[in-house]
A and B are shown apart, each in its own frame.
Chain A
Amino acid sequence: MADLRNSFVGIKSPNPFWLASAPPTDKAYNVERAFKAGWGGVVWKTLGEEGPPIVNVNGPRYGAVWGADRRLLGLNNIELITDRPLQVNLQEMKQVKMNWPDRALVASIMVPCEENAWKSILPLVEETGADGIELNFGCPHGMSERGMGSAVGQVPEYIEMVVRWCKQYTRMPVITKLTPNITDIRKPARAAKAGGTDAVSLINTINSIVSVDLDSFAPNPTVGGKGSHGGYCGPAVKPIALNMVAEIARDQETYGLPISGIGGITTWRDAAEFLALGAGNVQVCTAAMTYGFKIVQEMITGLSDWMDEKGHRSLDDIIARAVPNTTDWQYLNLNYIAKAHIDQDACIKCGRCHIACEDTSHQAITAFVDGVRHFEVLEEECVGCNLCVNVCPVENCITMDALPAGATDRRTGKPVDPDYANWTTHPNNPMARQAAE
């Protein structure tokens, strides 16, 4: 059996699946249930300053995007940080940590961007026995209007400053949670590192309006006739999160900085992908909010079974394995040539590959052969773009087969060059010509 035990910046948990700071980790009741279900750790719902807690809207706070069969693909929320008094949260955290010493319990914190605010809350959190803190620089609505959350996360200098205060006033490991609502994710990551952070976690939610109510002409969720943008999460954001994780994992300046991967993780496979792209563990929110805590059991068994099947013994065997294979476009091998191939036995003759290629790609798939409905790739036209594979409703019916070196590419009439050659040296690249001259 694969060993799923995880150690992230020294914080130990029986598996790499943590619940992200959000409603699932709002209070002891939820967290106890989550631990019973098998979650390896939690990042407690973000704590705010001492004093009267923030308030949430009293109308709807979620909006959603659905796929086939009303499968939830994207969730949007306008919830703020915890709306419970700080002392209540702290007491509960302490009790839960005592009850579950083997699980990770991290406190998420968001207080004003003033040294004193951070200095005063840190000892209180430390006193609970929490394993670490996560700095919430991500919340994109409400809190940001008050100069917190993503308002900090969007200014690298502030990030660095706050991280530095935290490192100064606590011995707990510091995880800096980044907002994706920024042009280049490497900048805040570098700033966090410069401030001395132990790790980054990402992504928080993405600014979004999920839909507009066409009767009231207001964005959803509509609160008393008005709506505001919210934060987007769930399966739809996974590709964005994966890229951001990879950007940090392969950036020279932040290379090796521990990353807690978050964003759309719904199955063991999603989690494995984050780990492969450099995440040291993962955090989940929407999947738990959609299906309940039990899904972690699918994640644990799925990851473990896959690791067993592939002979990976521990998480270290897979973490960051895909990072060296993630590169820039300019370094892709232009001599690699693939052609689509349609398995006629699997083909159900829906014709989607034909119309996609015919209307929007390279006119490389037949609709009729000898007067019979038949879909077949014309290798002399196929550029290997993969569109047909992506629109085909049958898995593995269309495959992209690489041409072996020396074979003739029927489209160009030229043999496949066995050597690697990329854009940087391509004759059509003006820069390459300049360099050569």
Chain B
Amino acid sequence: MGTCISGIREGRLSPADYEKNFTDLHPPLDRHQALVASDRCYFCYDAPCMTACPTAIDIPMFIRQISTGNAVGAAKTIFDQNILGGMCARVCPTETLCEQACVRNTAEDRPVEIGLLQRHATDTAMERGIQFYTRPERTHRRIAVVGAGPAGLACAHRLAMSGHDVIVFDARVKPGGLNEYGIATYKTTDDFAQREVDYLLAIGGIEIRNGQKLGRDFTLGELAENFDAVFLGIGLAGVNALRVEGEQLTGVEDAVDFIAALRQVDNKADIAIGRRVVVIGGGMTAIDAAVQAKLLGAEEVTICYRRGKEDMNASEFEQELATSKGVMIRHWLQPKRVIGKDGRVAGIEVEYTGMQDGKLAGTGETGILAADQIFKAIGQTFDPASVPNLRLDGGRIAVDAEGKTSMARVWAGGDCIRSGEDLTVTSVAQGRDAADSINRALAAAADPAVAVA
């Protein structure tokens, strides 16, 4: 049972309710369920699901391996392309990626459960502690990776596979990036993010240095000087501001910080939540913040998005997840003013919006929503302060098709570059491919100069 006391407070629910609310969103398939699910794969030629996967996992192959009782071999097929295949199986919006492409949708409107099958395979191998990769002979090349998020970790692992010494610097206390601090709690339970980092590091040759911040503790120039190559996977550190009156009031918070705090806390009851919560935004972060606010016992949770349903970055599935948990999603509303009382949030004034001459504009009509807590989830931004010398593109680090930045020997990937969606899986693909590019560059540099006659 919840408590209806207003204000932002802790312990709204009983311990049992917290426990129940934050368990696995999609419980794993057991062996039998996995066999049944895998039987549905048609083993398509030039499979559309594979094309839809940013890391191009050979999906028909790993599913066939599961169906023949070889879940461990299936895990290898996955990890060969995506060493964070375990996390991706949990957090990928498969409904807009592989599963959307599944031809079973055409046949019967129900795709093969690729995400759950991927989880089954990777869980099986990880639970048995099976490692597929060994480090070859050391090359004595030293590579710096900045950021231990999905991009940095995928890059580091690939590089270690080639025998290089990789040092990963991360500003935070724990590695994992948003896998550790951003992904919703119910998508990655049981400290999976850290277990996955440990699993990945078992290859050897990767050293993670936490609490090391680029721009504060060292500069990009120093790294480029002291290492054979540098990879930047520093994600998005900034958060967009609402830019409305009252934004500084107590009770207006960044959704990302709220989510991170929730991920880090031991006891969910210690996270304070309002009675009436308003979330501003329309992406994955907005949904995650809203759903988790509800799960923490908020009585009323409303997402306000300034455009229509179709424009939302959150997938149909995520929107449904939110509404099924009792979150109200309201469209065509933009924040106008945060209303305070005694220095604390008491409500938010919103303005109706619409399209005028092909542009979004306020209609002038307003309304007030009562609220004691407001989460800002209107997008993260790249903070270029730590990389002052790099050329930017659309506010993020500019790279070529291989991930090379404007600075020699420096590559970048993940959310901090512009290309691709801001997803875990895209970041993995970019980190991995940058590592391949680094390898090629190192190999080319190592080739003895060919004498020209």
Contact = CB atoms under 8 A, between A and B. Distances in A.
Interface stretch (A119-127, A299-307, A345-353): A345-353
B317 interface: no
A393 B107 contact: yes
B384 interface: no
B103 interface: yes
Interface string A381-420: 0000000000001100000000000000000000000000
Contacts of A373: 46, 48
A351 B43 CA distance: 9
A115 B453 CA distance: 101
B106 interface: yes
Given A68-B39, A69-B36, A69-B39, A367 B107 contact: no
A355 B107 CA distance: 19
A354 B103 CA distance: 15
A70 B107 CA distance: 22
Contact of B106 (A68, A70, A349, A367): A349
A348 B46 contact: no
A354 B45 CA distance: 8
B36 A350 contact: no
Contact of A367 (B36, B46, B47): B46
A69 B47 CA distance: 22
Given A70-B35, A349-B103, A393-B107, A367 B45 contact: yes
Given A69-B36, A69-B39, A70-B35, A348 B45 contact: no
B107 A351 contact: no
A348 B102 CA distance: 9
Given A348-B103, A348-B106, A349-B103, A355 B45 contact: yes
Contact of B44 (A70, A350, A394): A350
Nearest to B45: A351
B156 to A, nearest CB: 36
B218 interface: no
Contacts of B47: 351
B242 to A, nearest CB: 44
A284 B45 CA distance: 39
Contacts, number: 35
Contact of A394 (B36, B43, B107): B107
Contact of A349 (B40, B43, B48): B48
B132 interface: no
Contacts of B107: 348, 393-394
Given A70-B35, A373-B48, A352 B43 contact: yes
Nearest to A359: B45
Nearest to B60: A350
A21 to B, nearest CB: 34
A352 B44 contact: yes
Contacts of B40: 68
A397 to B, nearest CB: 10
Given A373-B48, A393-B107, A394-B107, A352 B42 contact: yes
Contacts of B45: 350-352, 354-355, 367
Contacts of A355: 45-46
B415 to A, nearest CB: 31
Nearest to A375: B45
Contact of B103 (A68, A350, A367): A350
Centre residue among B36, B43, B45, B47 by max chain A CB count within 10 A: B45
Nearest to A354: B45
Contacts of A68: 39-40
The 9 closest A-B pairs by CB, nearest first: A351-B45, A355-B45, A348-B106, A68-B39, A348-B103, A350-B44, A350-B103, A350-B42, A348-B107
Given A69-B36, A348-B106, A348-B107, 20 more contacts: A68-B39, A69-B39, A348-B104, A349-B103, A349-B106, A350-B42, A350-B44, A350-B45, A351-B46, A351-B47, A352-B43, A352-B44, A352-B45, A355-B45, A355-B46, A367-B45, A367-B46, A393-B42, A393-B107, A394-B107
27 contacts: A68-B39, A68-B40, A69-B36, A69-B39, A70-B35, A70-B36, A348-B104, A348-B106, A348-B107, A349-B48, A349-B103, A350-B44, A350-B45, A351-B44, A351-B45, A351-B46, A351-B47, A352-B42, A352-B44, A355-B45, A355-B46, A367-B46, A373-B46, A373-B48, A393-B42, A393-B107, A394-B107
Interface of B: 35-36, 39-40, 42-48, 103-104, 106-107
